[in-house]
Every structure is written in structure tokens, then in C-alpha cells.
Amino acid sequence: MGSCGRTMGGDHREMMIPEKVRKNNILFGCYLLSEKVSGIIPDELFLKLKYAWVFRRRLDTQAPLTYNEKIQWIKLNYRPPLLTKLSDKLGVRSYVSDRIGAEHLVPLLGAWDSFDKIAFEDLPEKFILKCTHDSGSATAFTGDPDTDIKKIRKHINMRMRRNYYLHSRQWSYKHVRPMIIAEPVLSCADGRPFVEYKAFCFGGRAEWIAVCKGKAGTKERTNDIYNRGHGFIDMRMSRPNSEGDHDQRPECWDSVIELSEKLSEGIPHARVDFYDIDGRLYFSEITLYPDGGFVRFDPPEWDRIFGEKLILPEPAVEKRTERK
């Protein structure tokens, strides 16, 4: 396989990247993931380079056809202010409350703009800390007396300094004000792991739903994809299917569809996620760029099938120039 630099062709802007880096796939990937470096690369060039590195093919931003291509187009060309609120883990709460009711919100235990301001004495024994402006920063406090607060402070402070937008140019995160929130640890009464539902909505209609089991970010994580009628689809999106019965329709299925469509109304595309805690649905997040637009479909033709459902909106350019 040729290098990513050669895959992209002769764009003179690639000269911003050292030749020895462009010709080594490992170095090239590290280069793109380094936010200090990637921040100097224009959005479109960055996405073309990363897309070529991930998929080994060119990204077409002029006439995108596949799902992943269209997600990249949306990142570059569709930037209404509402998207910032939807990606803000604190700001989105009022949006969710207005559209489907506050009873679907995970309780909020507190919000702070600095780790050193967190009132730990007012928090329960078990809780979760997470930043409001990124993804993957959640840290669980389980009541373990050996919890390393210094290590957690370092982790959260590093996240607070980070602009998550730079990771894969997910524009909606660019202007979110960094905050820290605390939420209770969610669990089912019998101790079993809860299930997550992720509804892929196109123009306000839920077309496919991923049923996710196992802890996120671990090898045990599985995703089973269904159509809105709960017909199982033999395909994978970046993660394996679960083993066993795929036919049992959850009691909350219709509610997942109804709630996700209310939250995604008026949005070209969104993945709306819920936790199922003993039959009660709690809002998790609205994801505007699933997997950053780097979803690995298996079989690959599903990239085009999903893309056919995503009708691109009229461009909406960014008016703000800096994060507040």
C-alpha cells in the first residue's frame, strides 16, 4: 500500500508536512493525531489526509456519495449555532428537557469550571465526572479508598485544556465552553449491565438503531444493528455483533424511535443515544458525526446505503471565530 501522502495526490499544501512523515504511515498517523501539530492544518486538508490514511482512498468533498464522505462534508459546510448546544453536555440538557421532558435526563450532581472547585464533600460515594466539551473523558468514582485523586486531576485538567474539535474537526465541539459535571453511576437493580440504544436519524426519521452491550471502549463491547421495524441486519459498524438471539424486541423499542425523532427533528443527521435502566430511558447524547465520519462498515456497501439516506442540507457557514 502506498503512503497516505501519495494517495492524496499533488496538493501543494501537503508540503506543510515533512516528506519523511508523509511517506511513513505510522508517523503520518501520529502526526495527524497530534493536536499541537494538526491545529496548523486547514480543516479540509486535514480531513482529506486523515480519510486517506484511514480508508486508503480519496475523500470527495465536492460530490460525496457515501455516509463517511457526507459526514466530512457536513463537518466542513454545515455549521449552524444549534450544533454547538447539542454537543455541549451541559447546554444540551435544556434542549432535551424542552423536547422530551426532564424525566429522561440523568440527574446532575454539580457543574464546575475547574477541578479544584469540585465540592467532593457534597457528592455521593459513587459518581462520574466528565467534561462537557469532549468525548471519552468520563471518570468513575466507585468508592474505592485507594482512588488516586492526583491522577484524576491530571487527567481532567488535560482534558479541560483540550479543544476536542481538533481531533477530527468535529466542528460542533469547537466553541463549547469547557466545564466539568458530575452524574450518578447508573446501574440496573439486578446488577446486570445496562443496554444502550443508538438511533441513526436522517431528516428526523430513525432508520437504523444500534443495540449496544458491554462496557464502551472494551473488547466486550458489541453493536447489533436493526432497522426501525426491529429487523436484524447482518452487518457491523466498527464493532462486532453480539452472540445469541437477535429476534427479541425490547419493550422500549417504540419509545426509542419516538424520542429520538423528537430530538433529531430539523437536523439533517444525528445519532441519538439512550441508556435503558430497568426499562426507563435516559438520554445519553446527540452525536452529530458518528465515529467522526470514519465508520468501518462491514460489509463496506453499507457505507453507501447509509449515505443514500443522508440528504445534505444547504451550507451554513460559521460566523464565530473563537471559542468563548
Of residues 314, 315, 291, 313, the one with CA closest to residue 303: 291
78-100 pLDDT, tens digit each: 999 999 999 999 999 999 999 99
Task: Kindly compute the dihedral angle of the four CA atoms of residues 95, 100, 104, 105, in this order, to the nearest 10 degrees.
Answer: 10
Shared domain check, 30 and 9: yes
Shared domain check, 111 and 30: no
In a domain, 269, yes or no: yes
pLDDT of residue 193: 82
Shared domain check, 203 and 116: no
151-194 pLDDT, tens digit each: 999 999 999 999 999 989 999 999 999 999 999 999 898 888 89
Residue 24's pLDDT band (cuts 50, 70, 90): low
Q: How many domains does the chain have?
A: 3
In a domain, 81, yes or no: no
Give first-to-last CA distance, the chain, whole Å: 43
Q: How far is CA 63 from CA 10, 73, 75, 111, 307, in A?
A: 20, 9, 15, 43, 12
pLDDT of residue 245: 86
In a domain, 83, yes or no: no
Residue 26's pLDDT band (cuts 50, 70, 90): low
250-292 pLDDT, tens digit each: 999 999 999 999 999 999 999 999 999 999 999 999 999 999 9
Q: Last residue of a domain, which of 184, 219, 239?
A: 184
Shared domain check, 180 and 149: yes
Instruction: Report whether pLDDT(322) > 50.
Output: no
- 7 CB-side CA count, 13 A: 22
Give the count of beta carbons closer than 10 Å to the beta carbon of residue 183.
18
219-247 pLDDT, tens digit each: 889 999 999 999 999 999 989 999 988 99
Range of the domain at 34: 4-56
Give the pTM.
Answer: 0.87
Check residues 190 and 200 and name the one with the higher pLDDT: 200
